[in-house]
Structure 1
Amino acid sequence: MSARETAELLLQVGRLVQAEGYDGELSPAQWMALRFFARANPFSRTPSAFAEFQATTRGTATQTIKALEAGGYLVRQRFKTDGRSVSLRLTSKGKKALARDPFEVLVRAVDSLDATARTAMRRALHQVLCTLATSDARRQIGVCQDCMHFGREMSGKLPSTGPSAVECLLLGVPIQPEDIGLLCVHFQPVNEHREDEHE
């Protein structure tokens, strides 16, 4: 199978899932926003992080977020440390909507593959995503455990640090166990070396 045929299959899968996601209540972009804010870590629940993740403009991302706020799916809170910045989180209505997310059709289809095929697919798609992000100079968004900033355990350093909290080497803050698998806007792949390290 040629690279073009494989790319077309990926595109077709994306279109099918998007078509499945349009039920009249929420648009595909709004579903994507709900998924993002449900999976983003506390540092990444911002309009600009969502715009990065969606690979869209800040204005387009803001319109999607405003529609979800108006519908009662999202609520914004000011950061305590910086009153100008906002963090977005799902309301109970947003969580209920996500419980019937049409994206689960794709999750079940991938889950029907055996473990070896799922692992190979994840690695291959991750590599394709990295290549696209690098060629377009886009920032990637990923999870802590795959990030070069994922550090050592911090037990005992801070009163609020749990017994198994790990340090984010970039921000110098503990990453709580429940946040390790969440999306982060500061993500940098472990195998990616920044240019400034070689200069």
Structure 2
Amino acid sequence: MLFDLLERLSSLTRVWFRQHPLLADLQPIQLSALLYLSRCNRYSNTPLAVTEYLGLTKGTVSQSLKALETKGLIVKTQDQADKRSVHLSLTAPARALLDAVMPPAFLASASTRMGERAGDLEALLSELLRTIQQHEDVPGFGLCKTCRFHRKTTTGGFCELTQEPLAPAERELICREHQLAELTE
């Protein structure tokens, strides 16, 4: 039953995106890549991280990223420390596009109608995701502020893995190095 519900919600979301006039020129994978890049941190905005997050082949993601770059929705910049690596960032038109379509109107409307129960549902789905991540072999990809390496500071945060300070906004971004802070069995 849970699978059926999640699958149906996913299907409705795909249909909504496919029918949205602003998204007519984007393939679903391209939109998924843009959504991920809009939410990931500076350690996680590489082609490899996009590939791992989406769970697709390198070739498929590479072609999709090239298409996004051709459309002027992402730019690639060389890593200053490791010249072999590139970082991907959204352009202003990509950010404007995502601002116009996210969250999906049908979902925002339903959440409003649900009232407080929408918050309860979000908490339960977060718990479901954490449980799956703890007990299955899947990449973590969680919010920085929930990671075992994150330490809150008066100026934002500090990543004990990278040994670098984090701006307050970075605490809310997805990191590919994420490891759950509390492991409950």
Name the TM tier (shorter chain). Answer: 0.7 to 0.9
Structure 1 position 183, deviation (Å): 0.9
Q: Answer yes or no: is the 8 Å Cα contact 1:133–1:139 preserved in 2.
A: yes
Shift of 1:111: 4.1
Structure 1, residues 9-62: CA drift from partner, whole Å, max 9, x if none? 111111111111124211221111111111111111111111222122222222
User: In 2, Cα distance between the equivalents of 1:184 and 1:19?
Assistant: 28
State the identity as a percent.
27
Count of residues in correspondence between the two structures:
179
Alignment partners' CA distance in 2, 1:132 and 1:152:
26
- Structure with higher helix content: 2
Superposed counterparts of 1:27-176, under 5 Å: 27-101=27-101, 103-105=103-105, 106-115=107-116, 117-153=117-153, 164-176=155-167
Match of 2:175 in 1: 184
Q: With structure 2 as the length reference, what TM-score do the two structures score?
A: 0.87
* Amino acid in the other structure paired with 2:110: A
**Pair 1:16-2:7 in alignment:** no
Whether the 8 Å contact between 2:134 and 2:183 is mirrored in structure 1 is no
Contact 1:39 1:182 in 2 (8 A): yes
Structure 1 126/152 Cα, relative in aligned 2: closer, same or farther at 3 Å? Answer: closer
Unpaired runs of 5+ residues, structure 2, are none
Give SS of 1:151's match: strand
The AA in structure 2 aligned to 1:80 is Q
- In the alignment, the residues of structure 1 paired with residue 108 and residue 58 of structure 2 have an alpha-carbon distance, to the nearest angstrom, of 28
| Gap change, CA 1:187 and 1:73, over 3 Å in 2 | same
Normalising by the residue count of structure 1, what TM-score does the alignment of the two structures yield? 0.81
Q: Which has the larger radius of gyration?
A: 1
Paired letter, 1:30:
Q
Name the SS of the counterpart of 1:43 in structure 2.
coil
**1:186–1:107 distance in 2 versus 1, CA, 3 Å:** farther
Give yes or no for contact 1:17–1:102 (8 Å, CA) kept in 2: no
Q: Provide the aligned C-alpha RMSD in A.
A: 1.9
Q: Distance in 1 between matches of 2:13 and 2:109?
A: 12
Quick one: distance in 2 between partners of 1:88 and 1:48?
Answer: 11
Judge conservation of contact 1:151–1:169 (CA < 8 Å) in 2.
yes
Whole-angstrom CA distance in 2 between matches of 1:52 and 1:110: 30
